[in-house]
Amino acid sequence: MAKLRVGVLYGGRSGEHEVSLASAAAILSHLDRGRYEAVPVLIGKDGRWSLPASAPTTLSAGAVIAQARADAAPVVSDGPDTVMPPHPGRHTLITIDRGAPSPGNSTASAAVSGLGLDVVFPVLHGPYGEDGTIQGLLELANVPYVGAGVLASAAGMDKAVMKRLFEARGLPVTPWCAFVAADWSRRRKQVVAEVLALGLPLFVKPANLGSSVGISKVKTADALAAAVGDALAFDRKVIVEAGVPDPREIECAVLGNDDPAASVAGEVIPSREFYDYEAKYLDEGSRTIVPADLPPARLAEVQRWSLEAFRAIDAAGLSRVDFLLSRTTGSLVVNEINTMPGFTTISMFARLWEASGVSYSALVDRLITLALERHQEKQRLRTSVL
């Protein structure tokens, strides 16, 4: 049988660019080369698509981030430009290889070629990748792809929309409110009053971002304005959540399409006051426990609510659902869902499934199969009434 050609999209324009590089390195190193032909496609921080001469190899997100901070300039692809036409066709990618100027001709020549992909693994985290934008392009191109569709990706990225869908599904969430930059500039006193009514401490977050980028814990009213400013630097919408007393951070992974399954649960023990960007990727003191120490009834509850959260946004393929469990009150709330969680071999999603009996390589295989199954199902739908 011919090998399936798998396009691995990675990088992206979001603040989670470096995390995506590590996720892609893990996927590319674990693809069964007897079954798949890998095609790495780098999306630079400037949005340029290219076929890099060499794929990423660093599996640690922390190492990639540390190197990026040490470098004076961002990574620039050494490969030819490529684009994905927004329509179905034999060539999923159109590559433009600009040659060097020839003798007597100061203008560089350009060779154009096409490449077909059987399936795409968009291992992109955050805006312009995990938020429905790439998924929309892949839908227009009619290419099978791993993970949630346009609606679920967008809903899973916007924490305010996500929480409304959770509430409509009957899932418990911590008290919250959301506002946009215009609200903050035009009616700040009202917004501050609404926010402080949630009680202190508060967590202030960009509504559309992941990896704990731009998040602040606010303990006093005087610190609120600075926290909102930090969040608005990353997104026009801000969400504010009431703190959970003495919380444990519990996570559960979901795999599947219409009949999803939930993994065992894990626990994150951050090196800092909460699991912020530094604690997640750069501090060596943060640790994870898999499986989490939970009574059977509580574990069953986490798994059941993970599946409900997955269905609430109409997710597909994979997700990681995060919970907060209060040591003080024993209350459990759904914090958020991630439709394309970190995907290195040591990321929580992979570790949770490994503890549930699914190896990393088998996980990649399963996700590609789920992508193809979902695509085949959609091909049966009518697009015209004539």
Do 368 and 146 form a contact (C-beta atoms < 8 A)? Answer: yes
Identical fold for domains 4-145 and 176-242, yes or no, is no
According to the model, what pLDDT value does residue 279 have?
46
- H-assigned helices in 90-223: 133-141, 150-157, 159-168, 181-186, 188-196
According to the model, what pLDDT value does residue 103 have?
56
Chosen CATH of 176-242 out of 3.40.190.10, 3.40.50.720, 3.30.1490.20, 3.40.630.30: 3.30.1490.20
Q: Vertex 60, ends 278 and 71: CA angle to 5°? A: 70
What does the pLDDT profile of the chain (386 residues) look like in tens digits? 689 999 999 999 888 888 899 999 999 999 999 999 999 999 999 999 999 988 887 666 666 656 665 665 555 667 899 999 999 999 999 998 876 555 555 555 677 888 999 999 999 998 899 999 999 999 999 999 999 999 999 999 999 999 999 999 999 999 999 999 999 999 999 999 999 999 999 999 999 876 567 899 999 999 999 999 999 999 999 999 999 999 999 999 999 999 999 999 999 998 766 545 554 455 566 789 999 999 999 999 999 999 999 999 999 999 999 999 999 999 999 999 999 999 988 899 999 999 999 999 999 999 999 999 999 999 999 888 87
What is the fold of 4-145?
Answer: Rossmann fold (3.40.50)
- H-assigned helices in the chain: 17-30, 61-70, 133-141, 150-157, 159-168, 181-186, 188-196, 224-232, 277-281, 296-312, 348-355, 360-379
Q: Vertex 318, ends 362 and 250: CA angle to 5°? A: 105
According to the model, what pLDDT value does residue 277 have?
52
Give domain limits for the chain: 4-145, 155-172+245-377, 176-242
Q: What are phi and psi of 205, to 5 degrees?
A: -135, 150
Sequence-separated (6 or more) residues with CB below 8 Å from residue 227:
202, 204, 216, 218
According to the model, what pLDDT value does residue 97 have?
80
Whole-model pTM?
A: 0.90
According to the model, what pLDDT value does residue 100 have?
53
What is the fold of 155-172+245-377?
Answer: D-amino Acid Aminotransferase; Chain A, domain 1 (3.30.470)
